[in-house]
Amino acid sequence: MKFTLKWLKEHLDTDASIEEICDGLVGVGLEVEGVEDQASALSAFTVCRVKEARQHPNADRLRVCDVETKDGLVQVVCGAPNARTGLVGIFAAPGTHVPGTGVDLEVGTIRGVESVGMLCSERELMISDSHDGIIDLQGDFEIGMSAAEALGLDDPVIDVAITPNRPDALGVHGIARDLSAKGLGKLKPVNVPAIKGSHASPINVELRFDKDSGDACSMFVGRHIKGVRNGPSPDWLQRRLLAIGLRPISALVDITNYITFGYGRPLHVFDANKVKGTIHARLAKDGETLEALDGKTYTLDDTMTVIADDNGPEGIAGIIGGEVSGCDENTTEVFIEAAYFDPVRTAATGRKLGIITDARYRFERGVDPAFVEPGAQLCTQMILDLCGGEPSELVIAGAAPLNERSFNLRKSRVKSLAGIDVSVERQVEILSDLGFKVSDKGDVLECAAPTWRPDVHGEADLVEEVARIVGLDNVKPAAMPRPHDVARPVLTPRQKRMLASRRTLASRGLNEAVTWSFLPEAHAALFGGGQPELKLANPISSELSDMRPSLLPNLVAAVGRNLDRGQTNIALFEVGQAYAGDKPEDETLRTAGVRRGQTGARHWAERPRSVDLYDAKADLMATLEAAGAPVQSVQVVQGGPDWFHPGRSGTVQLGPKNQLGWFGEVHPRVLREMDVKGPLVAFEMVIDNIPEPKQSTTARPALEAQDLLPVKRDFAFVAEAQVAADKFIRAAKGADKALITDVSVFDVFAGGNLGDGMRSIALEVTLQPKDKTLTDEAIDAVSKAVVAAVTKATGATLRGGG
């Protein structure tokens, strides 16, 4: 919402400076987005008079002018065709920066004649594109007067952002009201003329709605004016509209815009000669079309309100008028429309048709229902003033819903809710200045809300009115009591898991990324997603169309992008949500990581190796452990989801129904379809699947450190290659649970003379004696038990060792 300072002063009697006014606007919640002051840009330019213009001795098209300026008489060479004796124009002295040409003026010699300054065109001042000649001021101007003042450009333009709850501030008058309450001046009352009219309107108005849609247009006020002359509106009006970014069209149209911005009251004017029959408001018929004033044709449906005559729709209610019945320079009879349209329906229609106009903007926020007829009267007066004519009586259909509301404001409530001390007198004054009718009822103030404030619905709103006018800067900070002297822990186990998981992976060399929660449909499908309920109806692009079923696809894509940037050894992870459906419980918190390339850069001491699935497994196990998963009791089983390599992937689970995570090589087909060069290993953990930790004490169990040294024995077994190593380990561990404390795999070998499909697995078994040194016999007995358990569990044969 833009307006000029002079415009504001027509509604507000004030001596406040532009700075004070802007501070006041910000304070009351009308955020100033900018102030545009052409006067300062034009401060070096002044009014001058050409005392004498004579032909240049050496050039046919140039004139030599003696110019009266604020600095006295100077000589200027000028090439403009309209340079003549007696012209009053705008002078720029040497040293002035001319915005239109971008150069700083210097004293020059043109064809042998000295020129000390310049007579300016509008384009040189960048106030219009006109360059037909130099500025030729009409009227009485003093030499040396500022150009901005002479040109009527000494009126700063203020741009304020109006929040959607304040339709009243979409007119200069409403803004002035806030400022007057703030104490920055006195609101001038609106002088609504009571124009009677000399004849009955030849055009009648009607509301044609059934009961269900009666509120679509609850009031329609019309007036016919005959004998008008429509032409360009006067300079002051054009200048004012131009200042706020509106294009002057014709006096009749400019008047409606002026009232729209002055009072927040949109209006429409029909060329009465182009209207057939009664003007009426009704719902559109499905498929009806209207050629609107923006030159476009819109197809309407039966949820939209139109203003129509016997020819059909002539305007879309509250949004835009029709081309056919619009006013032009030939208009001699005009019909004014002032109506009240339902905000919700207007908003819905505007959205559906994609039309944004100043009228819609106001109607959908709610115009003052009590200002329909006054708006028509103001419009009539302006038309009579600027275009002449003879008005008819008003024709009125319906009545606007005044929506009268009254709320009690406890006198103590401003203090208890806003924390600010405001005397009751000041509260009453502020609310009254804002248009509330306030009556003192003892402990409470009964406040009747003004019709132009549809946003006021209760006591809290009244507190807000008082607080914003007093100024929130006057609210004193008050310390919140501490719930505990020393802060207590606040994080949930799930949140702590998230943090631990993240820091663990970062410490393992992975870089944390935050990627979109959405991804392309094709990627979603590759990772088990793409369900219809997870597709956005209005994605920002097809690249971001579906909610991610897993964190991996976006990480894989990120690897691809980093490869394209020349990165080779890549390790990325993310902690975030994945979506299996649109219910809250379908959303899981996960941790996922990907690695690609080598374990490090090439190095003089040792060759880096390629990352493999065991790196991903290590990442997963580390993050599981950090997140408090019972890693000692998890099962690792062969195979994972479809987006992993079928033979090089695994699942970590607590039983088949509770999978905690997956790891492995990403499926080569997935990489191919995502156009990412592999191989690439990955893991994903579902934080939400980790069981809640048992309530534990802070005390640790006693340390059982044995004095006797552990004994290690090696075993090598040969079995079919498919038999999982885990079976060997578990069987060996189980051979003597008291004595065997650790089993590790120190060699795996296939091929050679083992035979096809066979594999050798070598275990190191650690025995921890507790009370006495192990005898050779005891060690032999355990060794036999290990061999027996492993061969039984795996079908292996012992290869040697012991």
Partner 1 sequence: MTELSELESQLIAAVDAAGDEAALDDVRVSALGKKGTISERMKTLGKMDPEERKAAGQALNALKDKVADAIAIRSTSLKNAALEARLANEFDDVTLPVRPELKGSVHPVSQVWEEVVQIFGDMGFAVAEGPHIETDWYNFGALNIPEDHPARQEHDTFYFNPKEDGSRMVLRTHTSPVQIRTMEKSTPPIRIIAPGRTYRCDSDQTHTPMFHQVEGLVLDETTHLGHLKWCLEEFCKAFFEVDQVKMRFRASHFPFTEPSMEVDINYSVENGQVKIGTGNKWMEILGSGMVHPKVIAAGGLDPDKVQGFAFGMGIDRIAMLKYGIPDLRAFFEADLRWLRHYGFSALNVPTLPGGLS
CB of 681: closest distance to partner 1 in angstroms?
14
Q: Would you tell me how many other CB atoms lie within 10 Å of the CB of residue 368?
A: 26
Phi-psi region of 278 (alpha: psi -120 to 50; beta: other; left: phi over 0): beta
The residue among 334 and 555 lying less far from partner 1, judged by its C-beta, is 555
Kindly report the backbone phi and psi dihedral angles of residue 318, in degrees, each rounded to the nearest multiple of 5, phi listed first.
Answer: 75, 5
What is the nearest approach in angstroms of partner 1 to the Cβ of residue 507?
Answer: 4
Q: Which is nearer to partner 1, 102 or 477 (CB)?
A: 477
**What sign does the dihedral 306-307-312-316 (CA atoms) show?**
negative
CB of 544 to partner 1, least distance (A): 6
Is 99 buried (19+), middle (13-18) or exposed (0-12) by CB count in 10 A? middle
Q: Which is nearer to partner 1, 103 or 506 (CB)?
A: 506
Looking at the Cβ atoms of 381 and 515, the one nearer to partner 1 is 515
In angstroms, give the least distance from the CB of 174 to partner 1.
14
Least CB distance to partner 1 at residue 398 (A)? 22
Q: Which residue, 268 or 360, is less far from partner 1 as judged by CB?
A: 360
Q: Is the Cβ of residue 215 or residue 587 nearer to partner 1 in the bound state?
A: 587
- Name the token pair of 777: 């016999």
User: Closest distance between partner 1 and the C-beta of residue 416, in Å?
Assistant: 6
Cα 630 to chain centroid distance, Å, stands at: 44
Query: Which amino acid belongs to residue 378?
Result: L
Q: How far apart are CA 640 and CA 648, in angstroms?
A: 9
Nearer to partner 1, 376 or 575 (CB): 575
Cβ(467)–Cβ(420) below 8 Å: yes
Q: Quick one: 491 or 788, whose CB is closer to partner 1?
A: 491
Q: How far is the CB of 370 from partner 1 (least distance, A)?
A: 21
Task: Take residue 402 and report the two structure tokens written for it.
Answer: 């005044």
Nearest approach, Cβ of residue 608 and partner 1 (Å): 7
Q: Where are the beta strands (DSSP E) in 297-364?
A: 297-299, 305-309, 312-316, 320-321, 333-341
**C-alpha separations of 540 from 519, 526, 545 in Å:** 11, 21, 7
Query: Token digits for 186?
Result: 């006195």
- For residue 391, is the peptide bond before it cis, meaning its omega torsion is within 30 degrees of 0? no
C-beta of 347 vs 522, nearer to partner 1: 347
Burial class (CB in 10 A: 0-12, 13-18, 19+), 354: exposed
How big is the chain, counted in residues?
802
Nearest approach, Cβ of residue 320 and partner 1 (Å): 18
Comparing CB distances to partner 1, the nearer of 189 and 532 is 532
Q: How far apart are CA 738 and CA 754, in angstroms?
A: 34
Strand arrangement, sheet containing 390-398 = 268-271, 333-341, 217-226, 390-398
What value, to the nearest 5°, has the Cα angle with vertex 573 and ends 570 and 574? 150
- Cβ at position 111, least distance to partner 1 in Å: 49
